[in-house]
Amino acid sequence: MGKSAFFLVAVFLSVLAFETSAQTAYYKIDNENGELMKKVNIWGYVKNPGRYEVPASTNLIQIIAYAGGPRDHALMDEVKVFRDNQTGLGAPAVREVNVEEPSKVRTSDLQLLDEDTIVIDHSASVTVGEIFGYIGAPVAIVTSIILIADRVRK
């Protein structure tokens, strides 16, 4: 099983664990600002994954920003939002949102509820620049050794 599949299974099992507990919506009023708050989880390829307590008006793009933004190779066109199906039976609802171009996303697709879990996966593709980054230094060292050996021999 690949890393991505394992990760998604782990997410699914965690959400099921939350689902089986007697859980009610968390929303609370922030004492400092008098603002309604909710808890949202964000996992995967963001700079600071974790559980965030944010204003109830926070949307998907804003929670990604709270988490420090996407890391390199994050699949922003396949952001998954896991939501409890509210029945206590079966798997949570999952929707996939393309936030690659935020201006093209419907507002309703960006809305988050209390206890939503956002998962951002990554691409396994490697760019030409990264390939040169991995092999460039060893090739340069070997070339330098050959040139030095050639000069010493002469």
Give the per-residue pLDDT at 21: 40
The strand pair at 28-29 and 117-120 is best described as unpaired
Which pLDDT tens digit goes with each residue over 21-56? 434 455 667 667 778 899 999 999 999 999 999 999
Give the per-residue pLDDT at 23: 45
Alpha-helix residue ranges (DSSP H) falling in 22-127: 60-66, 107-110
**88: confidence class by pLDDT, cuts 50, 70, 90:** low
pLDDT at residue 100 tops 80:
yes
Give the per-residue pLDDT at 19: 45
Maximum pairwise Cα distance, the chain? 82
- Token look-up 């989880």 returns 41
Q: Which residue has better confidence, 33 or 101?
A: 101
Query: Which CATH superfamily, name and number, covers 3-123?
Result: Outer membrane lipoprotein wza domain like (3.10.560.10)
